[in-house]
Structure 1
Amino acid sequence: MSNHVFYLAKVRHNKLAVPFKLTRCSKRSAVFENPEHDFPKKLHYQLQSENKLTVTVSNGQDKSFTINYDKQDAG
């Protein structure tokens, strides 16, 4: 794992965290992938605006779902 960036997902039914390697990165987007994992195989983070982040969780092909995060004011 040295010299690479990974997202480590800890899930209840796995003893160890599942590593997803950063495969693409830009100012507004980051893609993490693990082709060996059953599902998901790909996590795509997209900054839609200053206050909105979208994460697409997929198998890299036809199966996916999207999570939308909206920034909330602290006050």
Structure 2
Amino acid sequence: MTAHSLPFCDGSIDVGIMDNVLEYISEPGPLLAEAHRLLKPDATLFVGVPGEKGCHADTDHKIFYNEERLIRCH
């Protein structure tokens, strides 16, 4: 299983949670596209990312997401 090809049918998920994931990925577009494929049209995806202090505390974090960047992310 890879993040770009999850073994679920299109539009089969009601609710998704992606907590402390995006900040580790340099190119989040493919993962978000896969999440979009899996979600039903009226589904909700909850995304959690660390604040600035938490993000800079881990050298493995690739991207800091402030509110504007998170909204633009796709």
TM-score between the two structures when normalised by the length of structure 1: 0.26
Q: Which has the larger radius of gyration?
A: 1
* Bigger relative contact order (CA 8 A; separation at least 6): 2
The two structures have a TM-score, normalised by structure 2, of 0.27
Greater helix proportion: 2
